[in-house]
Amino acid sequence: MSAARQEREAAGRRAETFAALWLILKGYRILGRRYRAPGGEIDLIAAWPLIGAPRVVAFVEVKQRRDASAFAEAIVPAQRRRIEAGGDAWLGANPKLAQVLCRYDAVFVAPGRLPRHVKSLWRRGE
Looking at every residue in the chain, the average pLDDT score rounds to 92
pLDDT value at 126 more than 70: no
pLDDT for res 72:
67
Q: Walk me through the domains of the chain, giving residue ranges and CATH numbers.
A: 3-122 (3.40.1350.10)
Q: Express each pLDDT in 20-37 by its tens digit.
A: 999 999 999 999 999 999
Which residues neighbour 85 within 8 Å (Cβ) at sequence distance 6 or greater? Answer: 37, 38, 39, 40
Tallying the residues shown for the chain, one arrives at: 126
Residue 107: name the closest of 94, 126, 121 by CA. Answer: 121
Counting residues of the chain whose pLDDT is more than 90, the rounded percentage is 71
Which residues neighbour 119 within 8 Å (Cβ) at sequence distance 6 or greater? Answer: 58, 103, 105
Measure the CA–CA gap between 94 and 32, rounded to whole angstroms.
12
Q: Express each pLDDT in 95-110 by its tens digit.
A: 999 889 999 999 999 9
